[in-house]
Chain A
């Protein structure tokens, strides 16, 4: 008997004597909505507010992004080649931006700019998928990650986000910077992933 047959036959015989099995409950998606958290406006306003509440940041356009990166001292980085032509005019000569991510110099990039598939207002979440992300590592390894979020793709609720998972083989929801509280329960940001998470609204 293969392991597959062995496991499945054990499961079948474990369940065979059950008279009545628990039914699959049907439920309204609204049940999961935190009714104690009120939306602060439309999906975009709510997204920006919730992103802030998880220590993320939102910037309103390429010029504001350049200002924010310069203020942080992050002038060397990577940008998705499809996004760069639209951003480059707003970035001064003090920036050094590459559109190819060199794995051998992974620590040289202080920021990575990639495209997001959308966002979720309810939770302040940025949605990345394989189809839109030029490189998984460029959205993860640099200290600052900038996700270009189309304003037209901000879902109001987590349930809508689940409904939009689609067929992409890898979707990741990012809700704020990478964090840990493993050492004495003290919050530290930037563990393996970004210490600064920015949403660039386009």
Chain B
């Protein structure tokens, strides 16, 4: 029996991880909903507005990107462009080499995961240390984040304590407070030793050239207080037109992501440190990364580029809750990842064309999205694309016979009558793998085929 890849991952997840994923995502979703509706009588209005702002921004990137570049240059920053992941890695390495830098601390950058920067830099003799607590733990374990904003949603405290012990961060202690303190003591000296700090960008404001970075832990601030060189990896879709547009976006990002009114640290960086300021970078480099985004922009799923990476769609998704983030085989998991990951592969779309099929299309991801992305519609478009391109995925039942039946009324009527046989034949003898898979975990209900037709007939006669 062949399952879809995401089903295989869900089946192999293990009880402990599944419990961690389910508890974490459920709590995240419930807290978000409670806070949002306590604070706003009509939060829907706000997210529709935020969606329009971001849609406008991505549909006008051709003018906003050069505008942001001009502001950044005027503010004293240097601007680089990277067409591919390789170009982006090379740009970072070039900057570090020009300064003789060998130690890099990084914070708040999914793009660096996307372009696999850490492995690349280490190959070139540069130490690249993750500073977000969760991502630091992931790096220690040689693991991958499983959630956009809660990277270790899939781990519990015991696993973390064991890992700390293995890596010489003290004897086993699994209290969350002690885990956090140990990371604090270890990492603060790493910041001070580092030659450069790398961050992502939550938003890039075109009119002011401000890079906006939000964190709760303060790790990005430490990168920008202790090092002399700041490198920003920003996806080209991170643009917003005006400073004032940050109002709806910051309000929604904090509430959707972590159920906070505002993230603890919201940093607005428009250039190297002021001359009077002793701490912080005297060089700032912004690298605008394409890596497949312009191709997404050209297609009919460009709405996905509105995403502000809050993770709300992961928390609410019944598939994510069962399968966990690693099941998506991508930096971007969950519903947003099911759209974005295959698209960003460009010509290698087929490698992840199964992801859009791993959805019940329940629509919850669209309802919670702070920028109102119609994710279910986009998933359907990608399914249609896979169909057009003749890409088959393992474990998807063949619908050929179904379409023959469903498009011929006489055949359909005959099938409804013949279907009664199912009540009398053991399911495991049926030549339909999907039915057998269903029966592995559930009991097939008695055959009720034709009931709607009978009801309709009766209703018409009345």
Residues of A within 8 A of B (CB): 2-4, 6-8, 10-15, 18, 21-25, 27, 29, 31-32, 34-37, 50, 54, 103, 106-107, 123, 125, 130-131, 133-137, 140-141, 158-159, 162-163, 165, 167-186, 188, 190-194
**Residue with the greatest number of chain B CB neighbours at <10 A, chosen from A36, A174, A180:** A180
A183: chain B residues at CB < 8 Å are 133, 152, 157, 160, 176, 179-180
A179: chain B residues at CB < 8 Å are 216-217, 264
Q: Which of B40, B53, B80, B270 contacts A25 (CB under 8 A)?
A: B53
- Determine if B184 and A172 form an interchain contact, defined as CB atoms under 8 angstroms apart: no
Residues of B within 8 A of A (CB): 20, 23-24, 27-28, 37-41, 45-46, 49, 52-53, 55-56, 59-62, 65-66, 75-76, 80-83, 87, 131-134, 137, 150-152, 156-157, 160, 176-177, 179-181, 183-184, 187-188, 191-192, 208, 210, 216-219, 221-222, 224-226, 236, 241, 243-244, 246-248, 250-251, 258, 260-274, 276-280, 288, 290, 294-295, 297-298, 302
Q: Which of B41, B87, B225 contacts A36 (CB under 8 A)?
A: B41
> Shortest 10 CB-CB distances between A and B: which pairs?
A193-B218, A14-B298, A34-B39, A10-B294, A130-B274, A182-B134, A136-B225, A136-B279, A191-B217, A183-B176
Report how many A-B pairs have Cβ atoms within 8 Å: 265
Nearest-Cβ distance from residue B273 to partner chain A, whole angstroms:
6
A11-B65, A15-B61, A183-B180 known; A136-B221 Cβ under 8 A = yes
Interface of A is mostly: loop
B247: chain A residues at CB < 8 Å are 29, 32, 158-159, 162
B222: chain A residues at CB < 8 Å are 140-141, 192-193
- Determine if B297 and A171 form an interchain contact, defined as CB atoms under 8 angstroms apart: no
- Determine if B150 and A15 form an interchain contact, defined as CB atoms under 8 angstroms apart: no
A23: chain B residues at CB < 8 Å are 52, 56
A186: chain B residues at CB < 8 Å are 176
- Determine if B221 and A193 form an interchain contact, defined as CB atoms under 8 angstroms apart: yes
A169: chain B residues at CB < 8 Å are 75-76, 269-274
- Determine if B62 and A171 form an interchain contact, defined as CB atoms under 8 angstroms apart: no
**Residue with the greatest number of chain A CB neighbours at <10 A, chosen from B216, B260, B290:** B216
Nearest-Cβ distance from residue A61 to partner chain B, whole angstroms:
26
A54-B260, A163-B243, A193-B221 known, 5 other contacts, Cβ within 8 Å: A3-B81, A6-B81, A169-B270, A181-B216, A193-B222
- Determine if A165 and B208 form an interchain contact, defined as CB atoms under 8 angstroms apart: yes
Would you give 7 A-B contacts (Cβ < 8 Å), ordered by A?
A7-B236, A11-B297, A22-B56, A31-B45, A35-B39, A163-B243, A170-B267
- Determine if A35 and B41 form an interchain contact, defined as CB atoms under 8 angstroms apart: yes
Specify the chain B residue showing the minimal Cβ separation from A55: B264
Q: How far is the CA of A190 from the CA of B184 in the complex (A)?
A: 8
